[in-house]
Amino acid sequence: MGAETHCPYCALQCAMTLTATDAASAPSTTEVASPPVTVAGRDFPTNRGGLCKKGWTSAELLASPSRLTAPLVRGSDGSLRETTWEAALDLVADRLRGIRSEHGADAVGVFGGGGLTNEKAYLLGKFARLALGTSRIDYNGRYCMSSAAAAGNRAFGVDRGLPFPLADLDDGTTILLLGTNVAETMPPFIGHLAGAQAAGGLIVVDPRRTATARLTDDGQGLHVQPAPGTDLMLLLGLAHVVIAERLADEDYVAARTTGFAALRRSVAQWWPERVQSVTGVPAATIRAIARRLAAGGRTFILTGRGVEQHVDGTDTATAAINLALLLGLPGRPGSGYGTLTGQGNGQGGREHGQKCDQLPGYRKITDPAARAHVARVWGVDAADIPGPGLPAIELLGSLGRPDGVRALLVHGSNLVVSSPNVADVRRGIERLELLVVCDFVLSETAALADVVLPVLQWAEEEGTMTNLEGRVIRRRRALAPPADARDELWILHELARRLGSTARFDTDPEAVFEELRLASEGGIADYSGIDYALLDSGAEAYWPFPRGGDGTPRLFAERFHHDDGLARLVAVTPRGGARPVPSPDELTLITGRLLEHYQSGAQTRRVPELLDAQPEARAAIHPATAARLGIADDEPVEVANDRGTVRCRARLTTDIRTDAVFLPFHYGDEQAANLLTSDAADPISSMPEFKSNLVRVTRLVEA
Ligand code: SF4
């Protein structure tokens, strides 16, 4: 029998069984090694045995020739050279000690990732605060879930992506998908949309006619294509119709929410004809959507990065929550609101202390009671835990500055591809005195490092992940790692020891999880009732799961998590200047994902089958726009603005609006879409603006 585990990629965490092959015990001598395990889909409530292309090919990387198998240190000639673990760790510890004693603890920064196991995310937060003594820790989830998380905390007092099991969608009769392309990002998900499709109730809001939007063809729903960056106005218009036509669930609003009067006043000015003039969505369509949502069936509203990755992302997600609350959906059996977490452990990654303002259990780092609890578990004084640090953009903006971060440790993130305004991040990295990257391939970020530490891949490690439903699951080891790759738990242990920390840094994942349980106990994300034995028994484990109690598959049935038990309707209005207005020679750049690649592409671009299918970035442009710009299909183009230039080929398609251009963000160097994105951030969540940046597209005239 093989190892029962889950996919290494997205937050659907599809279940799979890995079975060792002969190649597992016989190291390959050929350039393209055979995978040491076979992958088979396994029945599980999220994927029901299905896997996407990425999942099926996930074992390819285990024996890939691009796998790192020894520590690398940059030599005096500027090249990376293999060294021993002793030498690499001694060097890192020496340099960290020197920088810290000269410039203070906050001169050292840590950048984590939403793909790390819960155990690694937890230990990384503890390592930063106790072994390094720095407040400067944040992670790439800041680019992913921060605005929806802030909106959920504001409205409900808690942030769990889906506050109900995914299978609840199966019985949905109306599902509104806002800015999410699940048919490409997590294909097995669409099995859960079939009921709403059959009922003609699938409504997809996306400026592109994506694979998900095409599910509404043949009368199975509706696709609307608002102008990029106008999602907030569309949602205000929907709320306007719900209130104006008395479609709201008035009993629910009265009994379970506060803030209705202010919300009613704020949406009064967003009547459908006015919303049409801004979004381009016909007023009649806005009214029809509102009426369908309020028709009394089993209704869900789900948001994704398309509406969240904006400088008004928190307010936009809040407007979606307001709409759901007006309709009485959250907590109603068979209905609900949720946000679809993207990264594999995007949910758990934001609960255990990787965020600059949080401690384990989703506790606020500024809360004296939270600090005291975590300090007790860690065996230190609360005063020894540094206060809040800087969110990702500010942390990266400080790199190499006199009062900024001079040494950076990166775990599970390819930040010179995935960060906004990435040329500026690259310049910051060049100013650093020390860059240490833990990875299993030489990503674009690792290639710039002074020290690269090779780590395990998913099939080689034990641990837990928390999927998009808030369900905690086991990751299980299927094969031994290469001799010179190491678990990050061991790396943190060894570095902490060399730095003279007396805090406990276990190397056994189960021991770390046991400590995580204690640290999370009584917090919002309470894992104290979960242990490995429970997970190994196959029991479902949704947080909050208090010690001696049960898990919580469905939140909000009786109360929300604010002290008074009520949800907050929050009046939000568009901020002047939040939405860039294109001049006649500009298009709005939309960035996003392709079926074949995951996040920065550091992994999937190294899987031959996936790379062959999508080898390079292509700029998707409407044929009418291309004709105006004198661009033919497949021709080289430049997509540029004041921040940078992307050179790639054009792909002409009627799936995009005439005022927009789409670039996938999976590629590096001169094809990095984030050369063009802005590091202007949402003032509430620090979410950068990834989805509405202005660019000019021109035919590339080759010299
Ligand atoms: Fe993996 Fe996500 Fe594809 Fe499932 S949908 S196989 S979790 S990448």
The DSSP secondary structure of 258-318, one letter per residue, reads E-HHHHHHHHTT--HHHHHHHH---HHHHHHHHHHHTSSS-EEEEE-HHHHSSTTHHHHHH
Q: Would you state the pLDDT for residue 30?
A: 43
Q: Would you state the pLDDT for residue 113?
A: 95
To test the ligand 1 pocket, which listed residue (13, 46, 48, 52) has its Cβ within 8 A of the most ligand atoms? Answer: 52
Ligand 1: which residue has its CA nearest to atom 3? 52
d(CA 185, CA 197): 19
Ligand 1 atom closest to Cα of 10?
A: 2
Q: Would you state the pLDDT for residue 270?
A: 97
Which token pair is 454? 């090779």
Give the single-character DSSP code of 67: B
27, pLDDT greater than 70: no
Contact (CB, 8 A) for 495 and 479: no
Q: Would you state the pLDDT for residue 666?
A: 96
Ligand 1 close to Cβ of residue 582 (< 6 A): no
* Number of CB atoms found within 10 A of residue 549's CB: 11
Q: Would you state the pLDDT for residue 33?
A: 60
Ligand 1 atom closest to Cα of 41?
A: 6
Cα 222 to chain centroid distance, Å, stands at 27
* Number of CB atoms found within 10 A of residue 1's CB: 5
Q: Would you state the pLDDT for residue 25?
A: 57
340, pLDDT greater than 90: yes
* SS3 of 383-422: HHCCCCCCCHHHHHHCCCCCCCCCEEEEECCCHHHHCCCH
Beta strands of 97-218 (E only): which ranges? 108-112, 137-139, 174-178, 202-205
Contact (CB, 8 A) for 593 and 693: no
Ligand 1 close to Cβ of residue 12 (< 6 A): yes
CA–centroid distance, residue 589 to ligand 1 (Å): 26
* Number of CB atoms found within 10 A of residue 556's CB: 23
d(CA 456, CA 440): 7
d(CA 603, CA 528): 33
Confidence of residue 526 (pLDDT cuts 50, 70, 90): very high
In the chain the domains, ranked by start, together with CATH numbers, are 3-63 (2.20.25.90), 101-144+346-507 (3.40.50.740), 146-339 (3.40.228.10), 587-699 (2.40.40.20)
Ligand 1 atom closest to Cα of 47?
A: 4
Ligand 1 atom closest to Cα of 6?
A: 7
pLDDT 10s digits, 566-579? 999 999 999 865 56
Ligand 1 close to Cβ of residue 664 (< 6 A): no
Confidence of residue 409 (pLDDT cuts 50, 70, 90): very high
Ligand 1 close to Cβ of residue 610 (< 6 A): no
Ligand 1 close to Cβ of residue 342 (< 6 A): no
CA–centroid distance, residue 669 to ligand 1 (Å): 26
∠ CA 128-397-430, rounded to 5°? 90
Give me the mean pLDDT over the 139-154 stretch: 92
List Cα–Cα distances, 125 to 132, 305, 337, 458, 531, in angstroms.
10, 25, 30, 20, 21
Ligand 1: which residue has its CA nearest to atom 5? 186
Ligand 1 close to Cβ of residue 55 (< 6 A): yes
Question: Furthest-apart CA pair in the chain: how many Å?
Answer: 72
Q: What percent of the chain has pLDDT over 70?
A: 98
pTM, full prediction: 0.95
To test the ligand 1 pocket, which listed residue (5, 6, 9, 13) has its Cβ within 8 A of the most ligand atoms? Answer: 9
Give me the mean pLDDT over the 492-505 stretch: 98
Phi, psi angles (nearest 5°) of residue 156: -105, -15
CA–centroid distance, residue 7 to ligand 1 (Å): 6
Which token pair is 639? 């997509």
Q: Are strands 693-699 and 636-641 parallel, antiparallel or unpaired?
A: antiparallel
Ligand 1 atom closest to Cα of 598?
A: 8
Confidence of residue 145 (pLDDT cuts 50, 70, 90): confident
CA–centroid distance, residue 527 to ligand 1 (Å): 25
List Cα–Cα distances, 620 to 281, 337, 437, 579, 668, in angstroms.
22, 31, 33, 22, 18
pLDDT 10s digits, 208-226? 999 999 999 987 799 999 9
CA–centroid distance, residue 279 to ligand 1 (Å): 33
301, pLDDT greater than 80: yes
What is the ipTM score, two decimals? 0.99
Confidence of residue 257 (pLDDT cuts 50, 70, 90): very high
603, pLDDT greater than 90: yes
pLDDT 10s digits, 108-122? 999 999 999 999 999
CA–centroid distance, residue 186 to ligand 1 (Å): 5
Give me the mean pLDDT over the 339-368 stretch: 94
Give me the mean pLDDT over the 164-181 stretch: 97
Q: Would you state the pLDDT for residue 13?
A: 97
Identify the weakest region by mean pLDDT among 431-445, 475-489, 564-578, 605-619.
564-578
Ligand 1: which residue has its CA nearest to atom 2? 10
Confidence of residue 28 (pLDDT cuts 50, 70, 90): very low
661, pLDDT greater than 70: yes
pLDDT 10s digits, 626-645? 999 999 999 999 999 999 99
Confidence of residue 35 (pLDDT cuts 50, 70, 90): confident
Contact (CB, 8 A) for 136 and 108: yes
Q: Would you state the pLDDT for residue 381?
A: 97
Ligand 1 close to Cβ of residue 9 (< 6 A): yes
Contact (CB, 8 A) for 540 and 547: no
Q: Would you state the pLDDT for residue 703?
A: 61
Give me the mean pLDDT over the 478-482 stretch: 92
To test the ligand 1 pocket, which listed residue (12, 340, 343, 599) has its Cβ within 8 A of the most ligand atoms? Answer: 12
Give me the mean pLDDT over the 603-616 stretch: 96
H or E element: which one contains 438?
A: strand 434-439
Mean pLDDT, the chain, rounded, equals 95
Ligand 1 close to Cβ of residue 343 (< 6 A): no
Confidence of residue 21 (pLDDT cuts 50, 70, 90): confident
* Number of CB atoms found within 10 A of residue 357's CB: 16
To test the ligand 1 pocket, which listed residue (56, 61, 185, 186) has its Cβ within 8 A of the most ligand atoms? Answer: 186
* Number of CB atoms found within 10 A of residue 512's CB: 25
558, pLDDT greater than 70: yes
Ligand 1: which residue has its CA nearest to atom 4? 14
